[in-house]
Chain A
Amino acid sequence: MAADLYSANVRDGRAYLSLILTPLQWIVDVPSRLAGEVSDVVVDRSLLLKENAKLKSEALLLERKVQQNSALWHENDRLRSLLVSSKRVDESVQLVELIGVNPDPFQHQVIINKGSENEVVLGQPILDAGGVMGQVTEMSHYTSRVMLITDARHALPVEINRNGFRTIALGKGQLDELELDHVPDTADIKANDLVITSGLGGRFPRGYPVAIVSEVIRDPGQQFARVRIKPTALLDKSRHLLLVTMPAEVEEIALPLKGEVLPSKEIQ
């Protein structure tokens, strides 16, 4: 039992044990997969047309944003080269699918359908369409386990998009809420501020949306302001997720040392 906590070799054994269970995980996932397929088959034409039109207009909107974005990107690169600072590198992403959820309600973990055979790396960030979901904490050969940002043991370095105020978002074990850690009473944070990853700690790339500030409680009797934030990712609904591969130079910092489970910063 203690060996599992302190030894890296046990992790391999664990990976093989989960390999035994991988077929079970696939079978358990079949009903929800089938349900999705059946609803694809029986959906009526008008609904499909409507959805198609909606997606087209959405794509148009997004394309417009991308056009602007690429111009800004190049401008940014030029400015950076003028400043002789290092170039920004784009991260590559891999599509993964969620195939299971940890049955223990105390732990917010999901299981995805890619593992060490698909070159998943420990600590890799996972996103969905809305924002950051979590990071890979355990791998088997064909599946891996992702700790969600709302898990009570998870901490994520973030910043406020509006003014760059840096802080840390702590999970509380509730699926719809996180909390910002040690925010001074005088900090410039308002409700509806967007919270993005700050890229500090080297594990998550910078600039992905994490949450929206839902409430700032400033109590003069308390040392720090309490800031409650609501994750933008649909943590309990998303099925199709993105696995982000960090650029090589960043990855070197992000890879855990041998024998170390996670950097002590991420464990509370």
Chain B
Amino acid sequence: MNSGSPAQTGGGGFIILGTFIVGLMLSQIPLPYFIEWARPEWVAMILIYWVMALPHRVGMGMAFCLGLLLDVIKGSVLGLNALSLTIIAFLTLLLHQRLRMFPIVQQALMVMVFVGINQLLFHWMQAFTGYTGDSLVFLLPCLVSAVLWPWLFVVLRGVRRVFRIK
């Protein structure tokens, strides 16, 4: 399975887009106030998976567009999520070959680091525009994302194989 050859790529663009739309929906489903702090970063996780699996198709441009939509959902200043998602897409692009070789637990740890970077950047920039928190609870989503990663990975790999997205 040489996923890198351009002759065999193509197809499934809508499926990739669909997974992102599901991610955008999951990231705005209303939750009870206390669970809201632990909401996993669905879009970032799905983005990490696709960049890792198909780096020639999903990249930083996609990350930027998704980030803009996420900014509108979260009501933050336009471009905050766009920037932080672009940065984690870049990091995943740098490391994608290593990530593919990692056992799933180690992958989950890397996802925790990436999502953590995403959260840190986002909240650091939010603080510039006046939203402040005084605790580190905002890092909770990266732990939850890491715990959910093995399941998400299996589901998305299943999607990729069933629809033969290359």
Interface residues of A (CB under 8 A from B): 1, 3-5, 10, 13-14, 17-18, 20-21, 24-25, 27-28, 31-32, 100-107, 109, 138, 145, 152-153, 173, 175, 236, 267
Q: Determine the residue in chain B with the shortest Cβ distance to A175.
A: B33
Given the known inter-chain contacts A1-B78, A14-B78, A21-B73, please indicate yes or no for A106 contacting B138, CB distance below 8 A: yes
Question: Measured between alpha carbons, how far is A28 from B129 in the docked complex, in Å?
Answer: 28
Within 8 A of A (CB), among B18-44: 21, 24-25, 27-31, 33, 36-37, 39
Question: With a CB–CB cut-off of 8 A, which chain B residues contact A100?
Answer: 28, 30
Q: Determine the residue in chain B with the shortest Cβ distance to A108.
A: B33
Q: Contact size class for B?
A: 20 to 34
Smallest beta-carbon distance A123→chain B, Å: 16
Given the known inter-chain contacts A14-B78, A24-B21, please indicate yes or no for A103 contacting B138, CB distance below 8 A: no
Cβ contacts B39-78/A at 8 Å (1 or 0 each): 1000000000000000000000000000011001111111
Question: With a CB–CB cut-off of 8 A, which chain A residues contact B103?
Answer: none
Question: Measured between alpha carbons, how far is A107 from B138 in the docked complex, in Å?
Answer: 12
Q: Determine the residue in chain A with the shortest Cβ distance to B79.
A: A1
Whether the Cβ atoms of B27 and A21 lie closer than 8 Å is no
Smallest beta-carbon distance A28→chain B, Å: 5
- Contact partner of A32 (CB less than 8 A), chosen from B25, B30, B72, B73, is B30
Question: Measured between alpha carbons, how far is A157 from B31 in the docked complex, in Å?
Answer: 31
Whether the Cβ atoms of B77 and A106 lie closer than 8 Å is no
Question: With a CB–CB cut-off of 8 A, which chain A residues contact B37?
Answer: 105
Whether the Cβ atoms of A103 and B131 lie closer than 8 Å is no
Q: Determine the residue in chain B with the shortest Cβ distance to A106.
A: B131
- Contact partner of B75 (CB less than 8 A), chosen from A5, A20, A28, A107, is A107
Question: With a CB–CB cut-off of 8 A, which chain B residues contact A105?
Answer: 33, 36-37
Whether the Cβ atoms of B78 and A152 lie closer than 8 Å is no
Whether the Cβ atoms of B36 and A18 lie closer than 8 Å is no
Smallest beta-carbon distance A16→chain B, Å: 10
Given the known inter-chain contacts A101-B30, A236-B33, please indicate yes or no for A152 contacting B73, CB distance below 8 A: no
Is B9 at the interface (CB under 8 A from chain A)? Answer: no
Given the known inter-chain contacts A28-B28, A236-B33, please indicate yes or no for A102 contacting B133, CB distance below 8 A: no
Given the known inter-chain contacts A14-B78, A103-B74, A109-B75, please indicate yes or no for A24 contacting B126, CB distance below 8 A: no
Is B93 at the interface (CB under 8 A from chain A)? Answer: no
Is B3 at the interface (CB under 8 A from chain A)? Answer: no
- 4 other A-B residue contacts (CB within 8 Å) besides A4-B78, A25-B28, A106-B132: A5-B129, A31-B29, A103-B39, A104-B76
Q: Determine the residue in chain B with the shortest Cβ distance to A109.
A: B75
Given the known inter-chain contacts A100-B30, A175-B33, please indicate yes or no for A21 contacting B72, CB distance below 8 A: yes
